[in-house]
Amino acid sequence: MSSTHQTMTENARFPRLKIAVSDCLKGVECRYNGGHAQDEFVKHQLSQYADFVPFCPEAAVIGTPRETIRLVDVKGQVRVLGSKTATDYTDGLQEYAEKRVALIAERQVDGAVVKSRSPSCGLERIKVYRESGEWYGSSDPMRQGVFTEQLQKSMPYLAIEEEGRLQDAWLRENYVLQVFSAARWREFMQQSPDVKAFQDFHRDHKFLLLSKSEALYRRMGPIVAETTAQNLTEKLQEYGALFHEAIAEKGARGKMINVLEHLYGYFKKQVTEREKAFFRETLEEFREGTVPLIAVIKIIQQFIHHYGSEYLSTQIILHPYPPELALRSSIQAYR
């Protein structure tokens, strides 16, 4: 086995994720009707790579089974009321949210999956009714559930998605890349890194960061360059904030094509004309949306195996998450 291949193999170790999850998505019977909302991706895929930190505001505060709740505009203030009894559960839900979100932050989770359409956990488009019980479409507001709102305020760059939105291949790929990146940073910081380790981390994430935001990447380089043993703690904190901001950016086909061109540039003087033509043809097919990203990545990896590149062999962009998830095999994973 070549040293380059050994490096690639060793680097393809993935951190164990910590994910906060709405309990019902795991199959726990805590819904208003005593049932669950088990999600295939959460229960059977994400669980293979993650330890879960569960939450269920409504079950904890109201019990199971329970009356359904809704967000209601009461004299200009959004309250959480029972749909049958009009009981106001707002204060109890907010108290639960504050305590549970503090625990989630303490656990240093890498992401969260919340229940869609839930007045407590929904990420978006939760109806706010009038006191009369009516909702008039576009003339009335929509917002986040009260728990998820608190979670996002406390951890603004945390990867948060609803189980429904994660059915979208593009959103799922972005989410998984973000949580594995956040987990790598968490593990990296737990190792009490020195300046050299910090430099290596930034080097290995170069093309992943470029695929997210070149502007943020350009701001991060000088931070690493200016780091000394004396200011290491301060610089790591500064860098970490930008790192989480960068990985929260959604990927785009154009930005990924730019990265692929850069990766190919390391071999353009070595490849044969046939290899060059095949790469160009496959890249164009990716641009047109007729082949998935993995088709181009495999060509780059073959160049690394054949021609060698210690620098590229450790680039996280080539293996940001377990290949068994097959996220890059979907044409819809990039827009």
Whole-Å CA distances, 287 to 15, 177, 193, 302, 325: 31, 20, 39, 20, 22
Same domain, residue pair 208 and 251: yes
Q: Report yes or no on 23 lying in a domain.
A: yes
**Three-class SS of 21-65:** EEHHHHCCCCCCCCCCCCCHHHHHHHHHHEEEEEECHHHHHCCCC
Count the helices and strands in the chain (H runs, E runs).
15, 8
Digit-coded pLDDT (tens) for 41-52: 999 999 999 999
Q: For residue 3, what are the contacts with CB-CB under 8 A and spacing of at least 6?
A: 310
**Bridge partner list, 53:** 20
Tens-digit pLDDT profile for residues 33-43: 999 999 999 99
Instruction: Indicate the pTM of the whole model.
Output: 0.93
Q: Does the pLDDT of residue 3 top 70, yes or no?
A: no
Average pLDDT for residues 227-249, to the nearest whole number? 98
Residues 6+ apart with CB under 8 A from 145: 114, 118, 119, 120, 121, 122, 123, 126
Same domain, 183 and 135: no
Does pLDDT of 30 surpass 70? yes
The tokens describing 333, both together, are 């994973």
How does 48-81 read in b/e, with b if 16+ C-beta sit within 10 Å? Answer: ebbebbbbbbbbbbbebebeebbbbeeeeebbbb
Per-residue b or e along 208-232, where b marks 16 or more CB atoms closer than 10 Å to that residue's CB: bbbbbbeebbeebeebbeebeeeeb
Of 137, 167, 197, which residue is a domain's last? 167
Domain assignment present for residue 11? The answer is: no
**Residue 99 CB: number of other CB atoms within 10 A?**
11
Q: Is 317 within a domain?
A: yes
Last residue within a domain, chosen from 144, 167, 190: 167
Which helix (H) or strand (E) segment is 113 a member of? strand 111-114
Pairing of strands 111-114, 159-162: parallel
Query: Is 187 in the same domain as 314?
Result: yes
Please report whether residue 129 resides in a domain. yes
Contact present, 333 and 293 (Cβ < 8 Å): yes
Type of residue at 10: E
Q: Which residues contact 102 (CB under 8 A, 6 or more apart)?
A: 154
Residue type, 201: F
Task: State the chain's mean pLDDT as an integer.
Answer: 94
Specify if 291 maps to a domain: yes
Residues 306 and 328 in one domain: yes
- Indicate whether 303 and 179 sit together in one domain: yes
Q: Give residue 12's pLDDT.
A: 60
> Domain boundary at 167, 183, 208, which?
167
The residue length of the chain stands at 335
pLDDT of residue 51: 97
Same domain, 82 and 113: yes
Instruction: Please check whether residue 4 lies inside any domain of the structure.
Output: no
What contacts 296, CB < 8 A, 6 or more positions away? 260, 279, 282, 283, 286
Q: Does the pLDDT of residue 136 top 80, yes or no? A: no
The answer, yes or no, to whether the previous bond of 119 is cis (omega within 30 of 0) is: no
Q: Are residues 141 and 255 in the same domain?
A: no
For residue 143, give the H/E element and its range.
strand 142-143
Q: For residues 142 and 124, is the Cβ–Cβ distance under 8 A?
A: yes
Q: pLDDT tens digits, residue range 154-206?
A: 999 999 999 999 999 999 999 999 999 999 999 999 999 999 999 999 999 99
pLDDT of residue 93: 97
The verdict on residue 9 lying in a domain is no
Q: How far apart are CA 317 and CA 54, in angstroms?
A: 30
Position 232 pLDDT exceeds 80 = yes
Of 225, 294, 213, 222, nearest to 258 by C-alpha is 213
**What is residue 130's three-state secondary structure?**
coil
pLDDT of residue 100: 97
Domains: count for the chain = 2
Residues spanned by the domain of 187:
168-335
**Domain check: are 188 and 108 in the same one?**
no
Sheet bearing 50-55, strands edge to edge: 50-55, 17-22, 111-114, 159-162
